[in-house]
Amino acid sequence: MTNIQWHGRLPSAYFRGAGFMNYQHHFHAGNHADVLKHLALLQLIELMQQKPGGFLLLDTHAGAGLYDLNADEARRGDEARGGIERLRAAVHSSPQSAPGVPNVILDYLKRVDTFGRNHYPGSPLLAVGALRSQDRFLGVELVPKVARELGRNLDLCPRGEDGVSDRRAVARSGDGLGALKADLPPLERRGLILIDPPYEQTRERDEIVAALEAGLMRFETGVFVLWYPIKQRPYLSRWLNRIARLTDRPVLTIENSIVPDESGNRLTGSGLLVINPPWQFDTLMRPVLASLNSALREDTAAPCTLRWLNPPK
Ligand SMILES: C[S@@+](CC[C@H](N)C(=O)[O-])C[C@H]1O[C@@H](n2cnc3c(N)ncnc32)[C@H](O)[C@@H]1O
């Protein structure tokens, strides 16, 4: 049985803002943003595993771990059609003569397909499927019902013989931003921290900056990966630069858009800000981003970029 940790009361973050948390990832599973995030996550895990020492993968906003693409929620927006389904079709229909599809994309599609065409795995199940016995997974989810679902899904998650054990793959109900204080630095002294907030509350961006600052104070060598939506570019750029100024360590952003930037509030793409990216992550992600962009964009002018906010020294 997977170890599920419970905190006695509902965390206060649950009640913050105008109302209860109402974000549900079931509506968005497998969309273009999930594809970018999960490809980068698998590439980062592979690079972390070039060293034999184990590491902690802390998923601060873990979600349910597995999503039924035929459920009403998923069917409503049909977002997987513009993400995983579009990428799969593009890869399968690419002519033999086309430049090779990057291995990480093929590996990602293979991993997703092990859950069947009607399901899409979230970051916890993709990660746990890739972790070794010496690695460790902690997924934090604010909504208790979703955390219970995650616990059940972790139990069912296929792993290799030398994969991470049930005991070392834990679902916790609680506030993920708080885990950047409470759970860092990890015992292993190596860690990959995925921060994937819903961006629903106005003060969430300030809370993310404060939590990252606290996390970096405790664990400045950790690999921190923050997902963000692309909308309102001038404001977004100021916010990303504010985060980069928290540290002297290398900071990289990778972004994939499906349509060009717009001044309104529509989601035009998504990005990941990576603090302390492992060596060669940028080089490996460049062709991945190019393939992804050409497969998923709805407009040929939609950009994909890889940019150092703090270059490596
Ligand atoms: C974007 S989804 C996560 C998706 C997941 N990382 C994946 O890639 O499969 C965000 C999740 O964070 C949860 N959440 C919202 N605020 C949170 C908080 N303060 N701490 C932990 N989880 C939170 C939501 O309930 C939701 O399930």
- Portion of the chain with pLDDT greater than 70, in percent: 92
C-alpha of residue 263 to centroid of ligand 1, in Å: 27
**pLDDT tens string 88-131:** 999 998 766 566 899 999 999 999 999 999 999 999 999 999 99
178 bridge partner residues: none
Which pLDDT does position 26 carry in this prediction? 84
269, two tokens: 């793409």
Q: Which atom, in ligand 1's list, is nearest to the CA of 67?
A: 9
Ligand 1: residue whose CA is nearest its atom 19: 175
User: What per-residue confidence (pLDDT) applies to 9?
Assistant: 47
At the topology level, CATH places domain 3-310 in Rossmann fold (3.40.50)
Shortest-distance Cα residue to atom 9 of ligand 1? 122
Residue 245, pLDDT > 80, answer yes
Q: Please check whether residue 55 is in contact with residue 48, taking contact to mean a CB–CB distance below 8 angstroms.
A: yes
pLDDT of residue 2: 56
Answer yes or no: is pLDDT of 234 > 80. yes
pLDDT band at 21; cut points 50, 70, 90: low
pLDDT value at 241 more than 80:
yes
> pTM for the complete prediction?
0.94
How far is ligand 1, taken at its centre, from the CA of residue 64, in Å?
Answer: 9
Mutate to test the pocket of ligand 1, among 12, 15, 20, 25 (most ligand atoms within 8 A of CB): 25
Q: E-strand spans in the chain?
A: 3-5, 56-59, 66-68, 119-121, 136-141, 169-173, 191-195, 223-230, 251-257, 269-275, 304-310
Helices 32-48, 103-113: axis angle to 10 degrees equals 110
Mean pLDDT, all residues of the chain: 92
Does the beta carbon of 47 lie inside 6 Å of ligand 1? no
Partner residues linked to 252 by β-bridges: 274, 308
196 part of the active site = yes
Structure tokens at 243: 């985060």
Domain-by-domain residue ranges, the chain?
3-310
- Work out the pLDDT band at 75, boundaries 50, 70, 90: confident
- State the Cα–Cα distance between residues 313 and 302, nearest whole angstrom: 31
> What's the angle, vertex CA 247, arms to CA 242 and CA 248, rounded to 5?
120
Mean pLDDT of 25-34: 92
Q: Which residue lies with its CA nearest to atom 26 of ligand 1?
A: 63
- The residue annotated as part of the active site, out of 183, 196, 261, 299, is 196
**Secondary structure class of 58 (helix, strand, coil):** strand
From ligand 1's centre to the CA of 146, what distance in Å? 9
Distances (CA, A) of 195 to 49, 110, 159, 198, 263: 20, 24, 23, 10, 26
The predicted-structure confidence for 173-230, as pLDDT tens digits, reads as follows: 999 999 999 999 999 999 999 999 999 998 999 999 999 999 999 999 999 999 999 9
